[in-house]
């Protein structure tokens, strides 16, 4: 990896912008690209430069992918980065189908140094350095990219081979999503019983039911502030990946199926771009 090359970031959404900010703050030169020109234009405001995909492939290393889904990762890697980024480290931070990412890693072996690097945490948690990186792939590649990984994910675990990072991410997000849904239902229940939701949240935080979700999502639910840190549409996409993986593994996920149905109801209600804490509004709509 060239120490003088800028770091490339492809996808300047909620998480991609956070990655750019953390890299710039750590002293890296950063070049970024997004299909949305307005998002690309924001790069200059935060100390990075805008570039085309071809320019990033030629000039940057490592290249950090922060696109929406598996299809976009496959498209960028196979149609934009090969052959111009031959031999370079490419880090996939997107939450993807782990089987397809493993297959992609196998296809590009010898052409790119591919590393799977999804993160557990909201965009705000990652911004503060509290996201947990879940690394899948060759430990030597991870070591070569350690400077960038340190900037993005001060806390991280090497899970195993390519695909295992995504598998761990889906399992973590399954628990996280159900915690979030349980908190929403509990807050609405407390309110229906006549309790003040803000006061009850403080009690819940000190109780045996306490979870990190109460800190990250509880205040948003109580205040009705659904400025996105993790959008409903992305959470639904990830939930469908979990259900698909469970079918392949021969496991039923009855609680997650309810979560998926609640998220779909939020999308149907026009809330797809809102923070996933807005599930509390769907719980409120479900009155007798």
**All domains of the chain, ordered by start, with CATH?**
7-161 (3.40.50.720), 167-285 (1.10.1040.10)
Q: How far is Cα 36 from Cα 18, in angstroms, rounded to an integer?
A: 16
| Torsion sign across C-alpha atoms 88, 93, 94, 99 | positive
The confidence band for 3, taking pLDDT boundaries of 50, 70 and 90, is low
| 7: helix, strand or coil | strand
Torsion, Cα of 65, 170, 39, 46 (10° steps): -80
Strand, helix or coil at 60?
A: coil
Q: pTM here?
A: 0.93
Q: Is 129 left (phi over 0), alpha (psi -120 to 50) or beta?
A: left
CB 226 within 8 A of CB 274: yes
68 to each of 97, 139, 233, 287, how far by Cα in Å? 12, 25, 10, 34
- Give the pLDDT confidence of 129-182 residue by residue, as tens digits: 999 999 999 999 999 999 999 999 999 999 999 999 999 999 999 999 999 999
β-strand partners of 157? 134
Q: Report the pLDDT value the prediction gives residue 279, as an integer from 0 to 100.
A: 98
pLDDT tens by residue, 178-206: 999 999 999 999 999 999 999 999 999 99
10 and 64 Cβ atoms separated by less than 8 Å: yes
pLDDT for residue 41: 83
8 Å CB contact between 19 and 149:
no
């Amino acid at each position: 990896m060239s120490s003088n090359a800028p770091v490339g970031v492809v996808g300047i959404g909620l998480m991609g912008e956070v990655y750019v900010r953390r890299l710039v703050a750590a002293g890296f030169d950063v070049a970024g690209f997004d299909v949305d020109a307005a998002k690309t234009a924001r790069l200059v405001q935060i100390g990075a430069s805008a570039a085309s995909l071809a320019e990033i492939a030629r000039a940057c290393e490592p290249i950090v992918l922060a696109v929406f889904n598996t299809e976009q990762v496959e498209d960028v890697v196979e149609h934009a980065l090969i052959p111009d980024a031959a031999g370079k480290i490419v880090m996939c931070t997107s939450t993807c189908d782990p089987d397809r990412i493993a297959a992609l890693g196998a296809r590009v072996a010898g052409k790119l140094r591919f590393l799977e690097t999804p993160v557990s945490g909201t965009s705000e948690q990652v911004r503060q350095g509290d996201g947990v990186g879940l690394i899948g792939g060759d430990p030597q590649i991870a070591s070569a990219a350690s400077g960038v990984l340190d900037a993005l994910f001060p806390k991280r675990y090497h899970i195993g081979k390519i695909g295992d990072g995504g598998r761990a991410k889906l399992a973590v997000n399954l628990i996280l999503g159900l915690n979030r849904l349980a908190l929403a239902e509990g807050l609405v229940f407390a309110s229906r019983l006549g309790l003040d939701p803000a006061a009850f949240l403080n009690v819940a935080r000190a109780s045996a039911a306490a979870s990190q979700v109460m800190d990250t999502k509880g205040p948003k639910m109580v205040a009705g502030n659904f400025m996105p840190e993790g959008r409903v549409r992305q959470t639904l996409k990830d939930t469908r990946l979990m259900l698909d993986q469970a079918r392949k593994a021969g496991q039923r996920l009855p609680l997650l199926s309810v979560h998926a149905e609640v998220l779909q109801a939020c999308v149907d209600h026009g809330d797809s771009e809102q923070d996933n804490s807005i599930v509390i509004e769907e719980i409120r709509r479900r009155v007798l």
